[in-house]
Amino acid sequence: MNLNRSQLAMLITGFTLGIVVLTLFNIHLGAEVEEEYVIEMALADEVLEELIRQEEELREAEAADPIKSHMAMNETAKPTFGQPEPLKTLEELMAERQMDASDSDATPGEGEYAETLKELAQKREEAKQLLGEKEAEKKEYTNYLKDKRTSITYSLVERNAYELPPPIYTCIEGGKVVINIEVDSRGFVTEASFNAKSSGTDNGCLVDNAIAYALQARFNSSGRATQKGTITYLFQSK
């Protein structure tokens, strides 16, 4: 195929323009990659500085918060029932603190900083839930028998139940029986009466059983000479 000069000139011009366009495109891509790399490095430095700052704050807070403050919170911890995790002794807490201090002497990498902060936050949250729950003014305690025949709840402001004996279920019918109680400063129930308005049944067998066992209940001592509350028995029919 024979090409004249004008055709050759057009081909050369086209090839030249293509090369120029490809070159400019490659330069543009290289600039974007470099910009993204710089941005990623800057973000990584900021994250690392933030992690270091948070870790230092946690260490300062830990140093300013002695172990005895965590243990004192247990005195007003909200009672739980079931299978709670046993509380750790002072020696165990001291040993864990020494281990944490020895581990902090090392210089972990960026990933280890984040993992360490996550573990510290989780441990603090678990400790707060276990030892730092505030007591509600109206507490309820539920005790289910093995045969699920009776459940007991009580309402007594700022008092804990030491003894709430479950009734030996001898009645055929079931129902909800609410007993009004008066508790003295030592925690003994001095009076017990049937609360017909709040109860769901007036069955004599259930009421007599509930009153008899309510008088056997025992609560913690208090500065109040007398205090009123209720004990609710939920009997299930046989």
In this predicted model, what pLDDT tens digit does every residue of 81-91 receive, in sequence order? 444 444 555 55
Residue type, 63: A
Q: What is the DSSP string of 88-141?
A: PPHHHHHHHHHHHHHHHTS---HHHHHHHHHHHHHHHHHHHHHH-PPPPSS---
Model confidence over 25-67: pLDDT tens digits? Answer: 777 665 554 555 455 555 556 666 776 777 777 667 656 544 3
User: Residue 70 in contact with residue 124, Cβ under 8 Å?
Assistant: no
What's the pTM value of the predicted model, to 2 decimals? 0.41
What are the distances in angstroms from CA 44 to CA 47, 51, 64, 104, 112? 5, 11, 30, 22, 14
Please give the radius of gyration of the chain, using alpha carbons only, rounded to the nearest integer. 36
Hey, what are 188's tokens? 């003994």
Closest CA to 143 of 128, 163, 124, 123: 163
pLDDT-derived band of residue 183, with 50, 70 and 90 as boundaries? very high
Q: Is 75 helix (H, G, I), strand (E, B) or coil?
A: helix
The CATH class given to the 150-235 domain equals alpha beta
Output b/e per residue, 50-87; b: 16+ Cβ within 10 A.
Answer: ebeebbeebeeebeeeeeeebeebeeebeeeeeeeeee
Domain ranges of the chain: 65-131, 150-235
